[in-house]
Chain A
């Protein structure tokens, strides 16, 4: 039954990882605008200009 300790430890670690991932997502502004990105992803992009845009 001692394996329970390891399992509990592991499960909490995984859960905390997700909690921090969530907090990071909020902090980085991913929840600030929940509409525009859904439109943006549908734009057909000229690949060349996209990389150019990223570089700058």
Chain B
């Protein structure tokens, strides 16, 4: 229900709900920045203030979004052609993917765009897919203007090459809905026509008996040939690869029921088991629908293209034009501005390059490049405008080489192993029982022998078995989702339950510079001194310098003389009349080093005119709860750590991870991948936990790859699961619960076997009446499903996950 926003609460931004540090008052409301105020003004003018009544502080803070983003490239006809879905002289239709959609207010605002810009005819939101479908008048506005409008109200559309490719998932789902609809329809009607048989209305006219029988055949034909076709296909593919999956006994059962029933009706021998057949397929399809439950708003499959911009500025005859990135050619002169990504390996022509490769290597310190040097794709420029000449195509660059690795060619076959092991024995045993029972009766009566043989196959059809897995797994997946641990598919749970060795990435996964706490210890610094320090660290791009810069609140506008940066040590420079040195102790106090090496990485010392003033201590540099988590995991799993960064923190990390853990530094993406491979060669089940593009190969190669991310809808590399960073501490709990889930499935299997034994008892005696089958089959299916859901919920509650 809509709540009244707390207008009177002071210092909370009316728009985005952030704390107001430099409060702006407007219309009796507080705003944290000019951006939020501007959005409010716009909405106020357009009479859209219900936006604020639907949810509290629904706005998106504009402070952190990149200001330099331009949508100029949307004016290019080439790019428009790829994005626009439909266009004529009157209207144009386009779909944007907007990651920041998060609440019902967002839906409200995005569906009322026509009030802000009258050229918009209609806009519709799909909340789960975070998409907005916009129709606008062709002549009156442009694609670029629409994108800019969305950006100006805080809903920046994410446009990348990958999004331009249509995904066909809805079609698969639609097909499943059709199948369920048809199966349900036929199932219901067949039940009605089978009632006379259930009630054994003996005096029923033979005439009607035949009529009902033939109607049943007619109704079950589409179910058998259309609705159940996937099971036959899957069983056939499995058998072709000499591999028995659970679909083999299911198909066998279904086929036997169908043909035996048809035979019974035509020969007038009985009424067949059409109700059981269609009911079974109906339940199986529902299980399938449940299993396809996905987290639509997340994207688990991302490759390097998703990270690259859609277009790049090129210089042609001294004119700047934009061109789509896939049209970029060797020899093109490109312009890269501050914060932009280098799309292809190039040679530096002009400008001071300071390139942050954290995207590719994990090393966060920017690397300086000079004229004539090669800069690799995936680097992000910090500072001046650069002019580069492309030397290799986008698809052949150093970064994209990684994607040519075999790990990325592997197609993901979802094989639920436990199911298949059981299916194998199950199939053999069923066939053996059917043959023995058939042989036993063969001496007495051929008719009964055939009857018994088929009845065993019918009753053994493992539909309850096939349902237990999907329902237990998808229920667990739902529970994980509630705990902000999102799985790509249900198969991941089984993989997680088998993990015996875990590989961590360092930067961004177990460390978090951005949210670290910073404290100063030592002799008190005056505001003037703080400003001087701020002016100095401003020049350094080292993450710790940036952290100090961000934490000092006063201005830092002093000029610096003799600035020098010593990589891995610190910085020095003269501010006004004072010489400052900032960095490691042995650097700051040359020669006078008696530092305990322990906290090297998280202490930054400051000296003024050769005198030590004190140090900045960066707390919580590691993720909260890391050491507790590691201690829990250490007990039964092998841990290792891979880092693209230098080994400055080896000692720190060794203390947390223990001496047993393997640690490797200076790791390139392909090194990480091959490290996982060597572990797997030793028959280890490896879980990789990473965060960046540089872990993408390792995440893909590992048995299960988890991407840790601050914001789940942000870019994360292709992986099996996405873990919200705030739940990082809970990882061990999740691994334990995945094991519990597998045990629940085993218990459900045992439970459904009980039904099978009861059924077999009747079947081998040749006494399986349609009514027994008709009751046993749905009852077993439904009770097994309820059993699986109840148990997963029960254990989730006990393990405090719900």
Contact = CB atoms under 8 A, between A and B. Distances in A.
7 contacts: A8-B211, A15-B189, A22-B181, A27-B174, A31-B173, A36-B126, A43-B50
Contacts of B215: 8
Contact of A35 (B47, B127, B178, B185): B127
Interface in B604-619: none
List of 10 A-B pairs having minimum Cβ-Cβ separation, nearest first? A36-B127, A19-B185, A39-B104, A26-B177, A22-B181, A33-B126, A56-B121, A35-B127, A39-B107, A35-B128
Contact of A40 (B111, B122, B128): B111
A12 B128 CA distance: 37
Nearest to A26: B177
Interface residues of A, number: 28
Contacts of A19: 181-182, 185
A53 B114 contact: yes
A38 to B, nearest CB: 9
Interface string A25-46: 0110001111110011011101
Contacts of B124: 36
A10 to B, nearest CB: 13
B568 interface: no
B188 A49 contact: no
Interface of B: 47, 50, 54, 104, 107-108, 111, 114-115, 121-122, 124-129, 170, 173-174, 177-178, 181-182, 185, 188-189, 192, 205, 208, 211, 215
Contacts of A12: 189
A36 to B, nearest CB: 4
Which of A1, A4, A56 counts the most B-chain CB atoms under 10 A from its CB?
A56
Nearest to B188: A15
Given A12-B189, A43-B108, A23 B178 contact: yes
A18 B170 CA distance: 22
Nearest to A43: B108
Contact of A53 (B122, B125, B170, B174): B122
Which of B124, B128, B185 counts the most A-chain CB atoms under 10 A from its CB?
B185
Contacts, number: 64
A44 B744 CA distance: 46
A49 B115 contact: yes
Given A4-B208, A36-B126, 15 more contacts: A1-B208, A11-B192, A15-B185, A22-B185, A26-B174, A26-B177, A26-B178, A31-B174, A32-B126, A36-B124, A36-B125, A39-B107, A43-B108, A46-B47, A49-B115
A56 B189 CA distance: 44
Nearest to B135: A56
Contacts of B108: 43
A32 B125 CA distance: 12
A46 B205 CA distance: 64
Nearest to B121: A56
A46 to B, nearest CB: 8
A31 B177 contact: yes
Given A11-B192, A15-B188, A26-B181, A36 B107 contact: yes
A29 to B, nearest CB: 8
A41 to B, nearest CB: 11
A23 to B, nearest CB: 6
A14 B662 CA distance: 69
Contacts of A26: 174, 177-178, 181
Contact of A33 (B50, B104, B122, B128): B128
A33 B192 contact: no
Contacts of A46: 47
Contacts of A1: 205, 208
Given A12-B189, A22-B181, A31-B177, A39 B127 contact: yes
A8 B126 CA distance: 42
A45 to B, nearest CB: 9
Contacts of B182: 19
Contacts of B125: 36
A43 B189 CA distance: 41
Contacts of A34: 128
Contact of A36 (B128, B178, B205): B128
Which of A18, A27, A32, A34 counts the most B-chain CB atoms under 10 A from its CB?
A32
A16 B185 CA distance: 8
B107 A40 contact: yes
